Structure 1
Amino acid sequence: MKRILLPVFALATLAWTTSCSSNDSSSSTNTPTDVTAEHQHEAGEQHDHGAGAEHSGGHIYSCPMHPEVTSDKPGNCPKCGMKLEHTDGAAGDGKTYQMNLTASPAQPAAGQPVTLSFQPQVVGSETTPVPLAVVHEKKMHLIIVSKDLSEFFHEHPEFKASGRYDVPFTFKTGGTYLLYQDYQPQGGTHQLGRQTLQVSGPTRPAVKFTKDQMRWEKNGYAADLAFDKPAQVGQPLAVSVTVNRGGKPVTDLDNYLGALGHMVVLSEDGAQYLHVHPEDQADKGPRIGFHTTFEKPGLYRVFLQFNHAGTIQTADFTVNVAPAAA
C-alpha cells in the first residue's frame, strides 16, 4: 500500500482562495496513484470589536467552520449558515493539521473496488493520535467529484483499529477526481483536506458547464434553486430549494445527517469549497432554506442532498456569480 503525505493547514475559511491574504504551497508525486497534495493556510480577517469588548461585558461569537466570521451577538454564519458559537476570540488548539491518504490497490482503476484510507495528523508530530469530533453525525465527510464537476459523491470513512478512517469506493470511469475531507479535531477548528487522484481506465468526454441551471429533475423528483437577490460577490444571499415529486410539493422530507438538506458549493476550478448548512425550520418541506455568501466571481456547481421515502437524492445546479457591485 502506498503512503502519500498530504499536508492541509488549518483553514480560516473552507476555501483555498479568498479576499484575505493567503500562502500557497503544493507538492506532487510521480508514484502510481498520482495523488497531488494541495493546501493553503488562510489568514482570515478579524472583525474589530473594540479593545475593551471582552472586559466591558461584551462577548465574541464566531463560526466553527469560518473562524474569521465573528460577531458580538449570537446569530448564523453568512457564509455557511452554521450557528455562531460563544468563543470570546478563542483560536482553537493552535495546531497545524494534515491528512495522510493511502489507496489499496495503489493504482485505482475504473470499475474496480478500492479502499481509500485517511489519517489526520498533527504536523511535526505525525504519530500522535488525532481524535475527531462528531459533526453532522459523522467524524469525517468525504466529498468526491470528477474534475469537470459532473459527478458528485458524499461518503463517510469509518474509524478502524489501525487508527485510520477507511471507505470502500468504486470509480465509474477513469480520469481525474478531486477528494475533499471535511473534519474537526477535538478541541480544534474545522479542517479541509484536498487531494487530486488519478484513476486508470476508460474515460468519458468532459462536461462543460456554462449557463445557469436552476432546475434539477430525476427519479420523478424536481428541485428548483432560487436566490433572494442576484448572485454576486459579497452579497449575503438567502438560498432556497423547493422539492416536488410527481408535480406535487414534498412536505414530508426526512432528515439526512441531522438536517433537511446538505449543500456543497464548488467553484469551476475546484479551489473554492463551501459546505452550506440549512436554516432551522419547523416544517418538512417543500422548501429548504440556506444562507451563503460568494467570495469570488465565476461559475459554481451546487450539489444538494435530501432524504425522502428512505432514499437520498442528489440534485445538482449551476450558478454564475457576478463580480461585486461597484
Structure 2
Amino acid sequence: MPDSSSKPLSQATWLSIGLLSLIFFGAYFVLRALPAAQCGFLHYEEIVNADGEIELCATNHAGFIDLTRFSYPIVAEVKSDEPLVPGVKSTIDLSLETAGGTGIAPHELAVTHTKKMHVMVIDPSLEDYHHVHPSADGLSGSYQFDFTPTRTGKYRVFTEIVPLRSRSQAIALSEIEVPGAAHRPEFVRSTESLVDGVRFELLGAPERLKTGRDYRFELKIADIEGGSIALETVMGAKGHMVAFDGEGRGFAHMHPMDSVASARTAGFGGTEAAGTELAFLFNVPNAGWYRLFAQIQVQGEPVFGRFDLKVE
C-alpha cells in the first residue's frame, strides 16, 4: 500500500530542482568548452610586491601550452612600419583584442611576475629568442616593443596575459616576418651551455624523457671557473625558463618552484647574491625535440642559456 505519510512535491520544490539541474548542466558544458591541455588554466597566488601592490604569481607551472589543441578568446596582431632587417632595431606595434574585436586596455590586465604582459618571440630555427614586455600606447589595446632580430623567416610571437576579470592565463599566437629564408631547427641533446662567461647546467633530466610526466630540473649557474655568480632578481625571481617544441605547436613558460616564497622575501627588483640553483617543473604532452631557454640577469643584462631535450 502507498505510504500515506508521503506528500507530493510542491511547485516551488520542483522549480528549485529544475533550476539546480540547469545550473549543473550549464556548468558541465562550460567546463567542456574550456582548454583541455595541461595547465590550460594556471593556479595563481596573490602576493604583495615591494611597492605594496597586489599581483598574481603562477605557482609550479609545469605544463606545455599546445596551441594546436585549443585557442584562447584573445587576438594579438603584430606589425612593423618598415621591413625588419637582421641586426637592426625596429619598433613593433601589437594590438590586443578580445575574440569579439574589443581592445584590451592595460588597466584590464593583472600584474603577473611584475609585468602586465609577457611576450615570447622565437624564430623558425629556435636560435633567436626574445622575452619582452610591451608598453601601452593609450587605452585602445595598442602596445609597442623594440625588437632586433638576428635571423630571417617568420618569427612566432606568443602574447601571455591574465585578464583581471577571469584571473586566468590567456595566450595569443601571431607571426611577424623578417624577409629571407627560414631555417629548420637542428637539435643535439645538451644539458650544458656557456654564454657570455656564464655556465648553465641543467640537472635532473634523464636520457629518456616521457610525455605526461612531471620532471624536476635544477638549474645550476656558475662562472667559467665554477665560481658563484650574483644573480639579480628578474620578474620577481632569480631565473625563468621557456621551452619551445621543434614542431612549433606551442611553448611552456616555467617559473621557479619557490618563486612565490622568494617574491615575499626578495622584495622584487633587488640585486642579491642568492643561491646559484633554481628548480623548475617540466611536463610536455607530445613526443619530439624541445629547446629550453634559461633566462637570468647579471649586472643589469639578461643572459640566456640553452638546452636541447628529446621526449619519447
Q: Which moved more, 1:130-139 or 1:278-287?
A: 278-287
Task: With the length of structure 2 as denominator, give the TM-score of the two structures.
Answer: 0.69
1:119–1:192: structure 2 CA closer, same or farther, 3 Å change rule?
A: same
CA distance in 2, matches of 1:217, 1:245: 9
Q: Which has the larger radius of gyration?
A: 2
| Structure 1 match to 2:62 | 79
Structure 1 residue 313 corresponds to structure 2 residue 306: no
State yes or no: 1:190 paired with 2:169: yes
Find the counterpart in structure 2 of residue 158 from structure 1.
135
- Secondary structure at 2:96 match in 1: strand
Instruction: State the Cα distance separating 1:228 from its structure 2 match.
Output: 5.8
Query: Are the aligned partners of 2:223 and 2:229 in contact in 1 as well (CA < 8 Å)?
Result: no
1:222-260, Cα deviation, whole Å (9 max, x unpaired): 111122654211221111111110322325322111011
Contact 2:185 / 2:246 at 8 angstroms: preserved in 1?
no
Q: Cα deviations across residues 154-207 of structure 1 (Å, max 9, x unaligned)?
A: 111011225311112232343221111111111221111111222125x5x836
Q: Is the 8 A contact 1:243 1:285 kept in 2?
A: no
In 1, the alpha carbon distance for the partners of 2:190 and 2:209 equals 13
Residues 43/309 of structure 1: CA separation in 2 closer, same or farther (3 Å cut): same
Q: What residue in structure 2 maps to residue 181 of structure 1?
A: 159
Q: Does 1:63 align with 2:43?
A: yes
Task: Report the Cα offset of residue 102 of structure 1.
Answer: 4.0
1:30-45 pair list within 5 angstroms: 42-43=35-36
Q: 1:243 to 1:143 in 2, by over 3 A?
A: same
Q: Is the 8 A contact 1:100 1:119 kept in 2?
A: yes
1:132 to 109, 129, 132: 109
Q: CA deviation at 1:208?
A: 3.9
Answering whether residue 227 of structure 2 is matched by residue 246 of structure 1, we say no
Which residue of 185, 198, 201 maps to 1:221? Answer: 198
* Cα distance change on mapping 1:80 and 1:296 into 2, 3 Å: closer
The alignment partner of 1:198 has SS state of: strand
What does residue 290 of structure 1 align with?
280
Match of 1:211 in 2: 188
Structure 2: which amino acid aligns with 1:259? A
Alpha-carbon spacing, 1:218–1:273, altered in 2? closer, same or farther (3 Å): same
Q: Is the 8 A contact 1:119 1:165 kept in 2?
A: yes
For the structure 1 residues 76 and 157, does the alpha-carbon distance in structure 2 shift closer, same or farther, using more than 3 Å as the test? closer
**Aligned AA (2:109):** L
Amino acid corresponding to residue 43 of structure 1 in structure 2: A
In structure 1, what is the equivalent of residue 74 of structure 2? 98
Secondary structure of 1:117's aligned partner: strand
Q: Percent identity?
A: 20
- The superposition leaves residues 264-303 of structure 1 with CA deviations (integer Å, 9 ceiling, x where unpaired) of 0111112131101102277822211111212111100000
Residue equivalent to 2:291: 301
What TM-score comes out, normalization by structure 1 length? Answer: 0.66
Would you say the 8 A contact 1:144–1:153 is kept in 2?
yes
Decide whether the 8 Å contact of 2:219 with 2:278 is kept in 1.
yes
Deviations 1:100-150 (A, max 9, x none): 324231643444443222232222252564721111111111111111101
Residue 105 of structure 2 contacts residue 139 of structure 2 at CA under 8 Å; is this kept in 1? no
In the alignment, structure 2 segments of 5+ residues that lack a partner are 1-31, 46-57, 65-71, 263-272
Could you tell me which amino acid in structure 2 is paired with residue 79 of structure 1? A
Which structure has the highest helix share of the two?
Answer: 2
* Residues 7-65 of structure 1: CA deviation (Å, up to 9, x unaligned): xxxxxxxxxxxxxxx99xxxxxxxxxxxxxxxxx733589xxxxxxxxxxxxxx96249
For the residues of structure 2 that align with 1:172 and 1:128, how far apart are their CA atoms? 30
Secondary structure of the residue aligned to 1:43 is: coil
Judging by fraction of residues, say which structure has more strand.
Answer: 1
Query: 274-283 or 254-263, which moves further after superposition?
Result: 274-283
Q: Conserved in 1, the CA contact under 8 Å of 2:118 and 2:133?
A: yes
Decide whether aligned partners of structure 1 residues 45 and 225 sit closer, same or farther in structure 2, where only a CA change above 3 A counts.
closer
Counterparts of 2:178 and 2:294 in 1: how far apart (Å)? 25
Cα 1:138–1:312 shift into 2, 3 Å? same
